[in-house]
Amino acid sequence: MNRIDKIISALEEAANHPAKAVKASMKETGKKAVGCFPYYTPDEIIYAAGLLPVGLWGGQTDIKLADKYLQSFCCSIMRINVEQGIKGMYDFLSAVIIPAYCDTLKCICDNWHVAVPQTYLIPMVYPQHRKIASGMAYLIDEYKRVQKELETIAGKKITEKDLEDSIALYEDYRETMRHFTAIVSKYSKTLNAKTRHLIIKAAYFMDKRLYTIKIKELMEELKRLPEEKLDGIKVVVTGILAETDALLDAFVQNRMVFVADDLAHESRQFRTSVRSEGTALERLAYRIADHEGCSLLYDEEKKHGQLLIDLVRENHADGIVICMMKFCNPEEFDYPIYKKEIEAAGIPMLYLEIEQKMDSAEQVRTRIQSFAEMIKLGSSSKSTIG
Amino acid sequence: MDKNISSKQVLNDMISRHYAEALEAKKSGELVAWATSIVPQELLETMDIKVVYPENHAAVLGARKDAPVFLQNAENNGYSNDLCSYARVNIGYANLKESAAGNIPMPDFIFCCNNICNTVIKWYENLARELRIPMILIDTPFNHTFDVPEHSVKYIREQFNHAIGQLEQITGKKFDHDRLKEVMKISTETARLWKKATALAAAQPSPFNGFDLFNYMAVIVCMRGKQEGLDLFKFWAEELQEKIDCGEGPWKDQPEKYRVMWDGIACWPHLADTSKILRKNGINLITSTYPDSWTIVYDSDDLDAMARAYSSNYANRNLAYGTGNIVQIVKDFSLDGIIYHSNRSCKLMDFRQYEVQRQVHEQTGVASVIFDGDQTDPGAFSLAQYETRIQALMEMMEQRRNERLSRR
Ligand code: SF4
Ligand code: SF4
């Protein structure tokens, strides 16, 4: 195995076996771990406390126990998180943070106390008025409350310097990831849709410092190679996340390259930087205020569609793939608005309804294939597969 | 008020007038707002702005069986059938603008408060964008704690000031803080009378007639800040008290056999069916979580009190509060049973319902069933399932009653 393969396979291994990867990271760093539900948890504060933030974005577990709490029309990612919690799969975490962005997440917080009493819960609320002074002040108060809880878990006080160091590390991580996603089109075979996904996902289960070093190494190695000819279809992908394996395999088989993404699980985590001015917590709050185009954050101007169109233009993409998480209301509400704008811009669009645990990917596979064929034929006028 | 007519007639007149006046106002160039159901209407009333409530309008269209065409329109435009059907009906209506079941004027701006759910933020964002009109949002952070934390109160109060600024800009008028105090006084008094009237349902037999609550709710939603709203609830309370004094129950032709609470919104398109089956079995629906949801009362007349009040409703509070609230209702109203509506539209209400049911049962032993339905989408409801569940409820209530009798 060459160096590139080695790095990639280590990252893939982490992404495919989260519990094992997290436990290894805990051992390697001697840190306790804190679970972070989607979305935008203050990982910088967790890290500053000397704890390991771990992403909890569902998985591949069959749903049985969670049915006691949640009807079948709850999004699969939350049903699976609750299932895994009840099963004790998160018992090795010192706490979980659940931010109440959507109605489902509010309920998950409430159920958690009862369903998973063994895993300590730190609930959080983000302000929807994130841009006005009172919203920022509220968010900073929430951060302070969470900070106290984390200090108790870590058994240490977090200083301003700890926070600034942590923010610097996360800024480096975010910048590195933006570079990484930008080079995908140059190494589209090595970084095919599935590999790209797994590499990005691995970050959730590793120490950010060590992970960022790995990604930098990987990019260094890649840059030594000649660029790979991109002979597939270039797409921008949007949604909460792009999983399962079968779905990703279908993209790879149809040579669809993710030249950019707007996934909550991927680029939405790192496309926005903190501002340079203010205290550490203010800087974190600015990041939420400045973040655009996410269905979870109030935006009466609905910039989501324009953001997608810009991503297509900047990356010379052939189309947009929407991975619509079934039963996800925030994403489902954004769709009709950006759909109109994307159609008006003449950009081909593929709408896929996904669940994290799909019984059969057959339908999805067929639709991906038809979309790929349609793009190859260059018929972009009547081009929505929806 | 004219005592020869009933409060229900007054109610119906008021609601028709509410909609007619709003349409009239729009025609004569006045500003119209659309607002969510537990919005701090005091701010709008102070500015003398005509307000219509899309949730109430969607319920009317649902009850008059005119929802499907709007649901279809929303679906054609890309709205998933999984979304709240009030939102879908309203978004369809905003597009088509015409219903034989009743019209509302289009808004000049929208006013949204997420103390009922975060769904309304997304719904109103889309309206603002599609209609290119301003949006005012009052964000009431979900309360994980039993009470509203102080930093939330502060944040909400400051948003009131922010909203007042937006209102002044939209209307070009100055906000009158003295007038606000008057409106707050009326609103809080209306809410108290609403609570008082709905609490009279506790009498045995109950003077409530089945789905009364759902009818009068329209006024507490639409006219909380108005003298007429206040007068109506006073009148209704008197009427109920008279019935209680005469020992009158819900129906002339049959006694009240069982007393139940309904959790969640009505199934508007199936209102007749759902109520008929209850009545056939002598089951009287006497309360729900609604009386408390609109009991927006403040302990003083400042914005902090108002902020706290608007964040303290059932839907915005934690499970411990929700469960405790129902347990209290079971006791106060001497309930035999609870009917939980697993409402396909409302994730916030649904995804805690199983646990609420378990905890309420543990604490009270009250009989209960859950049925599947939807507030305005007729498709999610099955009459056969509903009947079976009510049958099961009957058996449970009967059994509990027998057990209690044999213990005496
Ligand atoms: S945002 Fe969507 S996917 Fe995420 S928890 Fe809420 S409903 Fe589920
Ligand atoms: S029914 Fe539920 S989701 Fe719909 S507007 Fe009401 S509270 Fe929100």
**A93-143 residue pLDDT tens:** 999 999 999 999 999 999 999 999 999 999 999 999 999 999 999 999 999
% of chain A with per-residue pLDDT over 70: 98
Q: How open is the CA angle B98-B104-B108, to the nearest 5 degrees?
A: 110
Is the per-residue pLDDT at A381 higher than 50?
no
pLDDT tens digits, one per residue of A307-335:
999 999 999 999 999 999 999 999 999 99
Closest-CA distance, A14 to chain B, in angstroms, reads 32
Co-location of B289 and B367 in the same domain: yes
Q: How far is the CA of A346 from the centre of ligand 2 (A)?
A: 35
- The domain boundary, picked from B176, B207, B228, lies at B176
Is the per-residue pLDDT at B140 higher than 60?
yes
Do A127 and B130 count as a contact with CB atoms less than 8 A apart?
no
Confidence tier at A385 by pLDDT (50, 70, 90): low
Do A111 and B83 count as a contact with CB atoms less than 8 A apart?
no
* Secondary structure, 3-state, chain B: CCCCCCHHHHHHHHHHHHHHHHHHHHHCCCCEEEECCCCCHHHHHHCCCEEECHHHHHHHHHHCCCHHHHHHHHHHCCCCCCCCHHHHHHHHHHHHCCCCCCCCCCCCEEEEECCCCCHHHHHHHHHHHHHCCCEEEECCCCCCCCCCCHHHHHHHHHHHHHHHHHHHHHHCCCCCHHHHHHHHHHHHHHHHHHHHHHHHHHCCCCCCCCCHHHHHHHHHHHCCCCHHHHHHHHHHHHHHHHHHHCCCCCCCCCCCCEEEEEECCCCHHHHHHHHHHHHHCCEEEEEECHHHHCCCCCCCCCHHHHHHHHHCCHHHCCHHHHHHHHHHHHHHCCCCEEEEEEECCCHHHHCCHHHHHHHHHHHHCCEEEEEEECCCCHHHCCHHHHHHHHHHHHHHHHHHHHHHHHHC
Closest-CA distance, B246 to chain A, in angstroms, reads 45
Is the per-residue pLDDT at B354 higher than 70?
yes
Is the separation of the CB atoms in B290 and B313 below 8 Å? no
Do B144 and A300 count as a contact with CB atoms less than 8 A apart?
no
Kindly identify which residue of chain B lies nearest to residue A98, measuring between CA atoms.
B144
Decide whether any atom of ligand 2 lies within 6 Å of the B376 Cβ: no
Q: Which residues of A touch B80 (CB under 8 A)?
A: 324, 332, 335
**Which pLDDT value is given to residue B3?**
58
Residue A134 near chain B (CB below 8 Å): yes
Lowest mean pLDDT among A28-37, A329-338, B200-209: B200-209
Of A70, A109, A125, the CB nearest to B141: A125
Residue from B144, B313, B342, B370 whose CB has the most chain A CBs within 10 Å, to mutate: B144
Co-location of B82 and B57 in the same domain: yes
Tokens of residue A312, six digits: 């297509």
Is the per-residue pLDDT at B255 higher than 50?
yes
Do B80 and A141 count as a contact with CB atoms less than 8 A apart?
no
Report the phi/psi class of residue A159: left, alpha or beta, with left for phi > 0 and alpha for psi in -120 to 50. beta
Is the per-residue pLDDT at A360 higher than 90?
no
A353, amino acid identity: E
Q: How far is the CA of A102 from the centre of ligand 1 (A)?
A: 6
CATH code, domain carrying B156 = 3.40.50.11890
**Which pLDDT value is given to residue A185?**
94
Do B129 and A106 count as a contact with CB atoms less than 8 A apart?
no
Which of B226, B268, B183 lies closest to B22, judged by CA?
Answer: B226
- The domain boundary, picked from B125, B158, B176, lies at B176
Lowest mean pLDDT among A299-308, B4-13, B357-366, B371-380: B4-13
Confidence tier at B256 by pLDDT (50, 70, 90): very high
Segment B10-25 mean pLDDT: 92
% of chain A with per-residue pLDDT over 90: 94
Distance CA A334, CA A338 (A): 6
Co-location of B215 and B256 in the same domain: yes
Decide whether any atom of ligand 2 lies within 6 Å of the B237 Cβ: no
Decide whether any atom of ligand 2 lies within 6 Å of the B91 Cβ: no
Residue A112 near chain B (CB below 8 Å): no
Q: Which residues of A touch B83 (CB under 8 A)?
A: 329, 332-333
Across all residues in chain B, what is the average pLDDT?
A: 94
* Nearest ligand to residue B116 Cα: 2
Is the per-residue pLDDT at A358 higher than 80?
no
Tokens of residue A336, six digits: 């009709």
* Nearest ligand to residue B121 Cα: 2
Is residue B226 in some structural domain? yes
Is residue B190 in some structural domain? yes
Confidence tier at B8 by pLDDT (50, 70, 90): confident
Is the per-residue pLDDT at B258 higher than 90?
yes
Of A71, A73, A298, the CB nearest to B121: A298
Give, rounded to a whole angstrom, the gap between the first and last alpha carbons of chain B: 47
Co-location of B114 and B184 in the same domain: no
Is residue B395 in some structural domain? yes
Decide whether any atom of ligand 2 lies within 6 Å of the B119 Cβ: yes
Q: Which residues of B touch A109 (CB under 8 A)?
A: 142, 144
Is residue B213 in some structural domain? yes
Residue A113 near chain B (CB below 8 Å): yes
Co-location of B184 and B66 in the same domain: no
CA torsion angle A195 A200 A206 A211 (round to 10): 90
Q: How far is the CA of A77 from the centre of ligand 1 (A)?
A: 7
Co-location of B171 and B208 in the same domain: no
**Which pLDDT value is given to residue A359?**
72
Quick one: which atom of ligand 2 is closest to the CA of B55?
5
Co-location of B207 and B271 in the same domain: yes
Confidence tier at B366 by pLDDT (50, 70, 90): very high
User: Total structural domains in chain B?
Assistant: 2
Is residue B2 in some structural domain? no
Co-location of B211 and B167 in the same domain: no
| Selected residues 51-80 of chain A with any CB under 8 Å from a CB in chain B | 68-71, 73-74
Co-location of B55 and B68 in the same domain: yes
* Nearest ligand to residue B373 Cα: 2
Is residue B1 in some structural domain? no
Closest-CA distance, B386 to chain A, in angstroms, reads 17
Is residue B127 in some structural domain? yes
pLDDT tens digits, one per residue of B79-119:
999 999 999 999 999 999 999 999 999 999 999 999 999 99
Decide whether any atom of ligand 1 lies within 6 Å of the A237 Cβ: no
Q: How far is the CA of B35 from the centre of ligand 1 (A)?
A: 25
Do A110 and B82 count as a contact with CB atoms less than 8 A apart?
no
Where is pLDDT greater, at B29 or B406?
B29
Give, rounded to a whole angstrom, the gap between the first and last alpha carbons of chain A: 42
% of chain B with per-residue pLDDT over 70: 99
pLDDT tens digits, one per residue of B164-200:
999 999 999 999 999 999 999 999 999 999 999 999 9
* Nearest ligand to residue B266 Cα: 2
Quick one: which atom of ligand 1 is closest to the CA of A38?
4
Which of B107, B92, B98, B84 lies closest to B30, judged by CA?
Answer: B107
Do A69 and B354 count as a contact with CB atoms less than 8 A apart?
yes
**Residue of the nearest CA to atom 3 in ligand 1?**
A328
Co-location of B226 and B150 in the same domain: no
Decide whether any atom of ligand 1 lies within 6 Å of the A104 Cβ: yes
Q: How far is the CA of B174 from the centre of ligand 2 (A)?
A: 33
pLDDT tens digits, one per residue of B271-322:
999 999 999 999 999 999 887 888 888 877 899 999 999 999 989 999 999 9
Decide whether any atom of ligand 2 lies within 6 Å of the B84 Cβ: yes
CATH code, domain carrying B359 = 3.40.50.11900
Co-location of B336 and B266 in the same domain: yes
Confidence tier at B213 by pLDDT (50, 70, 90): confident
ipTM higher than the 0.90 cut: yes
Is residue B403 in some structural domain? yes
Closest-CA distance, B4 to chain A, in angstroms, reads 46
**Which pLDDT value is given to residue A383?**
57
Co-location of B58 and B121 in the same domain: yes
- The domain boundary, picked from B157, B176, B195, lies at B176
Closest-CA distance, B75 to chain A, in angstroms, reads 9
Task: Count Cβ atoms within 10 A of the Cβ of residue B62 and give its class: 0-12 exposed, 13-18 middle, 19 or more buried.
Answer: buried
Q: Which residues of A touch B118 (CB under 8 A)?
A: 101-103, 106, 128, 330
Residue A100 near chain B (CB below 8 Å): yes
Decide whether any atom of ligand 1 lies within 6 Å of the A105 Cβ: yes
Q: Which domain holds residue B391?
A: 180-407
Q: Give me the domains of chain A, ranges plus CATH numbers.
A: 1-27+159-231 (1.20.1270.370), 31-156 (3.40.50.11890), 232-386 (3.40.50.11900)
Decide whether any atom of ligand 1 lies within 6 Å of the A56 Cβ: no
